[in-house]
Structure 1
């Protein structure tokens, strides 16, 4: 009975399913094909059900009254795959947006079959290859956005055939060739945005003067040369012009004043010259004008300052004369940047009174007079930068009420008087720089309210009184510089609570008492300068526990007793204990020529007469020191033998077969070639490198572009030891998994990968200058100068910082070395070779245990070699070795170093001869001060204790802040940070 009932039921159910399936209309069937063609890890298309009669209620789909699909919007859906061609089978489709996904490969020519499209947005994907010339066949298209992809080649001349296009957005691609004049035929255009493409040098097409409907023109960083064409005077509808970061020349044309609808004019970082013209009163709608970093001369036009400007940036020109008072009448002004000119006179008295001024930077001029009292009248002032002028008078009381202030720099002026109490405790200020003025009075007890303060720079003033206890309550304080003042009393004991403090300079005051107890808690301290005071008592032994301390100056005080033996554990680049009342024996490490001048004026100290100077336990200490050195050298030797043995094991791996059939081809970025073209070019004559796992080939494609191809042999079995050492397959998968999802300017790009039966291919962007290691140690293209080396260090640090701090989860490279830092044609550095990289899981607090040592001899952190525990600190150690290479010109393991590795040799030379004897002799002496600062950073990175190594983000900051104050030439000025992060008496602020 049950069987007789169930059979008809099943038939009925099957029939109903067929009927429901057939009920889905034709547009729905096409969209089902789209769904099948895309990878949908986020489940964005999960609601696209074949059981619906129409797709009109599906996510991202809209229909007209006939249930025909007219709009598909799948932006930000995390989709991947190739462009879904079935979309073009939707006859009524007029709106299509696939922006912010991972859709790649090339854009097919058949996209022209989407003939009814009015709106097409494919921005922020990974499309590669040329832009199809057939796009211009979409005769109804009004909006086209292909921004932030990897399209290459020239812009199609056929784009000039568009007749209804209003917006053309192609920013941030890899387009080359010159900008075609044919675009001037698209007279319907309102927006033309081609910025940030590596076009060939070319002039602005004069034919663009035909675009009389144009409202926005964005051509920054397009390699434009020459002058602005006269034909642009016809573009009367233009509201925004951005021609920044090009090589445009000549004077600013007067016809610019005929464009009366202009709201924004961006001309910064070009080669414009001559005076700024007058006639600005015609541009009554202009809100933002940026002509900084040009060669403009003369005075700031008065009629320019009469406009209702929101932002005026004219910094880094050669402007002179006074700042027109009319600028203070603008009710919209929030940003005024005029630094690095030759301006004189005073700031307008009512500046800030009529607007909510946010930023004022007039540094490096010849301005004088008082600081205007209304700067924060609108309650919005955040940055007040007045460096290197002739300002005088006191700080206005009103600024003490400016709760919005976060960055204050008034150094090197002629300001004087007492600082308002409220000014000391502004809650958002993180940098307070009053260096080099004549301020008097004391530090207010209210300073404890400045909870965000990280840098307090008040040196070279006339401050007096005692340093308040409340200083020790500033938990965020990193730099406290109060030298060359008239402070008295004792150093407050609370100062040892500043666990983030990296620099303490109280030299040249009249401080008394001793160094406070508890300094061992100041773990981040790397500079302590208490010279030229009246301090007394014993030098605390606990200073030797500050492992980051590399600058110690206690000279010209009244310290007594012995020099603490514990100071020998520090890596001191500068030690000065001269002119005190110290006695006894000099610690053995310091009893060398390089430190002889560190103990002058202490008649009770002795270097040589052991019978008179050395305490009874001196020989025992020497014995202990020798024993520790012996243990260290022995450990290094054992480690090197182990790594050498491991290397021999790798060389026994069987060679792969050369031929194979490609089974999978995966692209991530630009592709304008096929796997067969790559395979045909893998010839011995094209080999540019080889390793244990395969070879690297230089491949010149038919289109003239060059790529680098890494060919990995597939190992069929485990190694002879039966261990878990990764095969080339896992190395291939690791590198693909890592690089396939990374897009950063300092990480080498992986274009695509190929899988075959017997080998694997990784296709990278080609780096014409090879590796840092090869260039540094072989001098192929001549010796690298210091600015180039510093640029390479900074680029590599930014790449590693991205891996450690911006990837989720973080990535540990595990094989950072100079040979894995590749250099492009401009010596820009990029991190490469991710074959042993690991994702660090948060559940393990950033530490993972590996089964084997991965990395390269000479770069491996000590704790990694012995414990197999890996985290980002291992990479930081390796990067420190790279810095030592850049500074010394030596390899990490080199015969010329004898039995020492590079860190041991560096420490030995520093101890015995001084820093001059370890610097690469080909480096120019004028860079010595900056090289030493970078060396300090490298020594921090190779600290034996991983916890003492700075993070890569901090390393980047330290490198950026290490820049010289006055670059020697234009090249240096581009490499080193701006003058706002200058040095104080050779020490970094």
Structure 2
């Protein structure tokens, strides 16, 4: 009441005096003063003008000059709803969509003349009850906000309403039956809201004028109401991602005007209804991920379909030949069924097929020769079937192809040259077939290739030099073939290569092809079971990201280079070669007990090593000691000669480092030079592709973490122009941030040779180490929940409170650090990008940044990055916390954690998904957090909540206190200020 009283006084207050501008113009200026306009979108709103009719976004009546419409969409405006606009007496259309309006909807009730109100894609909060006062409104769009509470039962007061869009909010309760009274409704869109589980209101069947019904992900259950048979004017029906049961009703065939039907991710059963040939307008039908049985009706395939998705059901029988006669068929996805027989020979001949996926069925026969006759096919996925014969030559003419997956079939013959050279192809997966012939030199034309998977075939000949022209190649797997010759020297040009597997071939020669150290991103290198000889290259020790190295069953000789001690390998295998000498000390413990067997010349205390060398061991020790004495004498002489010079140089370096090359962001109790001199291998606590991390205990007892970057990272991103290197990116980002859930950067040093970042030390390490290590028992559910909230608040700060917003691009459990009080903080901003909101929220990257298992599907294939990519990655972290499982692993087969969770929930239930070490008394809370994680990992970016919404949902999940301090004297909820991190643009 007090708020309404203030608004009443506001409306009575006289406007500022002006001698020229109309009254409507004065109202608009008053509204402008209530808003923040960082982009000067309203610069044309000139107070000296006589009329506002030429101002940006303002429309006036052609005769009276009264303002009738205001459209300020996508203008980067922020602040509360400008209630002064409601004083415009003839305003009928108001569009403030895609801004940052951040108040409640209460003032909107005063805009009673409006016919069209669009406040979508803002950050409005609170209930929506006030909209029932807008009795004249016809179009109401409040989608993409943070609105909460229930849809009011009195919504039926909006008698003239034709469009109601409340998609992607935080609305609860149930869908009110009173919506069935709005008989003028043509478009009802309520999708992606956390409603209570409830049936679909049968009263919605009264909306006979309805053309669009969008109820995806609304927690609906039970059958589709029979009253829906009245909705004969429907053109789009989406009931996907609910828990709807029963059959697809026979009366669906009455929907003769329907163009799109989306029923995927439900629990529908039975057969597809007969009589679908009556649905003559149907272009898209998706009933995938249900429990449908029976065959695919021929009459369905005779419709003018553009997309047919029936994957992950239990359909069986033959694919109707009529499918090939669909003149508009754009997408066909039938994977994970029990379909048999052959694909129609003319499939694709008469339709503009863009993607086809019939994987995980029992298809046989040839791949249709003209499947890309129209030249629009981008994705051909036929994995895990029994296709035979050769790959069609015509497929090599399909320049549109981007993904070809043919693994686990019975294909034979050689791969056509044209397939090797497809210019847009980035995934060629031919594993587990009987293909033969050479890897063609024409592969140089496949400039977009990122994954080349040829293992378990019969390919022969040498690897062509042209392989080095594939600048974007990330994975090259050709194991278990008959490849021969040397590894081409051009391979060193593959600077994006992460995984190289050439095991079980007949490759020969040495590995000194020059520049192997340039393969700085390689994590997995498997060259086992070949005929390589010569020495193991010492340059392997300079590969910073190398984690898996297998050179077993070759003919390598000489000593194992000591430089391999620079690596931190999870697996090393040098067994069954001709190596000699001593094993480097770091590899002499039992973890590597099978890594060196079968090398008669090696000596070590490992079991099975050093056979026949005990007799010479004493003499070897004498020789080594004599060599050490001689070397020490020489070093002593040289050291005395240069002692004074070196002393002066060190002193000078200390002064320079301390006075000019260290930049601090906080008041320090230590100096940079002290940090630099304590960096040694004994203090290394982590390694990554960008550098090493040291734990440094300073003289005053303080402990810090120091990240030392490797070399000089690349400074150019070919798609977006010049970029600062990784060091400058991390400093630019972290140096300006002040938040309790972002790791604190104390200071930095950059003098060209030294690139150091000094952070606060986090005693409990990373979340990934805790979940997969021996300290997992420390993570009970309240602590896991707290970590999830902390990390979400850190990311929300980056996305919503930084100007411009920051996209982390590598959110994962290893980049969420935990302090001694189990406060979680987001770290590692080496690949962070800043994006703008004003129409530029998506940025294109030249290569994929991030970590496997966490990368959003759309980013992996389009290289388009925005906040939604971080949200997907954070959803994976939530799934890790709930399941205790890693994001990728052999136990998932072709899938990852996200798909495993979805499948396990459907087939085994919730208890199979939850980490068994967690206390069952938290089952309900864990279930709710899991729902948040699944929401974040939606395959459709627009359906993922914002990080601000994620934080809100997590806070509402549990009765466990939001911030439970493990130390009463230290409040982990303390927020270090609220200042924004302003970055130079």
Q: Which residue of 2 aligns with 1:101?
A: 99
Q: State whether residues 790 and 825 of structure 2, in contact with CA within 8 Å, keep that contact through their aligned partners in structure 1.
A: no
Q: Deviations over 1:108-165 (max 9, x none)?
A: 2x534433221111111121111134x3333322111111111111111111122211
> Which of 115, 124, 127 is matched with 2:124 structurally?
127
Q: Give me the whole-angstrom Cα distance separating, in 2, the residues matched to 1:885 and 1:640.
A: 33
- Aligned: 1:640 with 2:697: yes
Aligned CA distance change for structure 1 residues 452 and 300 (closer, same or farther; 3 Å): same
Does 1:416 pair with 2:435? Answer: no
What is aligned with 1:263? 259
**Cα gap change, 1:99 to 1:629, in 2 (>3 Å):** closer
Q: CA deviation at 1:290?
A: 0.7
Structure 1 residue 52 corresponds to structure 2 residue 109:
no
1:592 equivalent in structure 2:
589
| Deviations, residues 664-703 of structure 1 (Å, cap 9, x unaligned) | xxxxxxxxxxxxxxxxxxxxxxxxxxxxxxxxxxxxxxxx
Contact conserved, 1:930 with 1:963, CA < 8 A, in 2?
no
**Deviates further, 556-565 or 418-427:** 556-565
1:274 is matched with which residue: 270, 273, 295? 270
Q: 1:224 aligns with which of 220, 225, 228?
A: 220
Question: Matched residue of 1:639: which SS?
Answer: strand
Alignment partners' CA distance in 2, 1:150 and 1:173 = 5
CA distance in 1, matches of 2:902, 2:581: 41
Give the CA deviation at 1:560: 1.8
Counting only pairs closer than 5 Å after superposition, residues 184-333 of structure 1 correspond to structure 2 as 184-333=180-329
Measure how far apart 1:38 and its partner are.
2.3
Q: How do 1:319-468 and structure 2 match up within 5 A?
A: 319-468=315-464
Q: Which residue of 2 aligns with 1:948?
A: none
Task: Report deviation, 1:960.
Answer: 7.1
Q: How far apart in 2 are the matches of 1:621 and 1:351? A: 76
How far apart are the structure 2 equivalents of 1:800 and 1:37? 24
Tell me the SS of whatever aligns to 2:594.
Answer: helix
Counterpart CA distance in 1 for 2:111 and 2:802 is 42
Tell me if structure 2 keeps the 8 A contact 1:120–1:144.
yes
What is the aligned partner in structure 1 of residue 75 from structure 2?
Answer: 77
Is 1:66–2:54 an aligned residue pair?
A: no
The correspondence of residues 885-964 of structure 1 with structure 2, limited to 5 A, is none
Aligned-pair CA distance for 1:443:
1.0
2:532 counterpart residue number: 535
The CA deviation at 1:49 is 3.0
Q: 1:578 to 1:811 in 2, by over 3 A?
A: closer
- Residues 472-527 of structure 1: CA deviation (Å, up to 9, x unaligned): 22222221111111122222222223222222211111222222432222212222
Q: 1:817-839, CA deviations, whole angstroms, 9 ceiling, x for partnerless residues? A: 5558999xxxxxx97689x9999
Partners of 2:831 and 2:408 in 1: CA distance: 49
8 Å contact from structure 2 (residues 889, 896) kept in 1 = no
Closer, same or farther: CA 306–644 of 1 in aligned 2, 3 Å: farther
TM-score, normalised to structure 1, is: 0.67
Shift of 1:563: 1.9
1:885 CA drift (Å): 15
Q: CA deviation at 1:192?
A: 0.4
Deviations 1:169-193, CA, capped at 9 Å, x for gaps: 1111111110100010000000001
Q: Report the count of equivalent residues.
A: 738
1:19 Cα deviation from its structure 2 partner? 14
Structure 1 CA distance for aligned equivalents of residues 523 and 323 of structure 2: 45
Shift, 1:631, TM fit: 5.4
Per the TM alignment, residue 308 of structure 1 is displaced from its structure 2 partner at its CA by 0.9
CA drift of 1:362 comes to 0.9
Flag the 1:206–1:390 CA change in 2: closer, same or farther, 3 A: same
Shift of 1:569: 1.8
Say if 1:639 and 1:839 are closer, same or farther in 2 by CA, change over 3 A: same
Distance of 1:812 and 1:405 partners within structure 2: 27
SS at match of 1:597: coil
Paired residue for 1:34?
31
Post-superposition CA distance 1:70-91 (Å, at most 9, x none): 1122222222222222222222
Tell me, in whole angstroms, the C-alpha distance in 2 between the residues paired with 1:793 and 1:473.
Answer: 44
Distance in 2, Cα, partners of 1:30 & 1:801: 35
- Per the alignment, residue 701 of structure 1 pairs with none
- Alignment partner of 2:144 out of 138, 142, 148: 148
CA drift at 1:841 = 9.0
- The offset of 1:731, in angstroms, is 13
Aligned pairs (5 A) from 1:526-675: 526-608=523-605, 609=614, 610-611=617-618, 616-617=623-624, 632-633=681-682, 639-641=696-698, 644-645=701-702
Change (3 A) 1:177 1:606: same
Q: Does 1:137 align with 2:144?
A: no
Distance in 2, matches of 1:61 and 1:229, equals 45
Is the partner of 2:696 in helix, strand or coil?
helix
Q: Which residue of 2 aligns with 1:856?
A: none
Q: TM-score, normalised by structure 2?
A: 0.67
Note the C-alpha offset of 1:22.
Answer: 2.9
Structure 2 CA distance for aligned equivalents of residues 70 and 393 of structure 1: 68
Shift of 1:810: 6.1
Q: CA deviation at 1:57?
A: 2.4
Change (3 A) 1:962 1:796: farther
Task: Note the C-alpha offset of 1:37.
Answer: 2.4
Deviation at 1:590, TM superposition (A): 2.4
Q: Residues 848-859 of structure 1 correspond to what in structure 2 (within 5 A)?
A: none
1:520 matched to 2:517: yes
Deviates more, 1:535-544 or 1:261-270: 535-544
Structure 1: distance between partners of 2:354 and 2:462: 35
Q: Distance in 1 between matches of 2:193 and 2:183?
A: 23
Partner of 1:946: none
Judging changes above 3 Å, is the alpha-carbon distance between structure 1 residues 797 and 343 closer, same or farther for their aligned structure 2 residues?
farther
**Residue 476 of structure 1 pairs with residue 472 of structure 2:** yes
SS at match of 2:253: helix
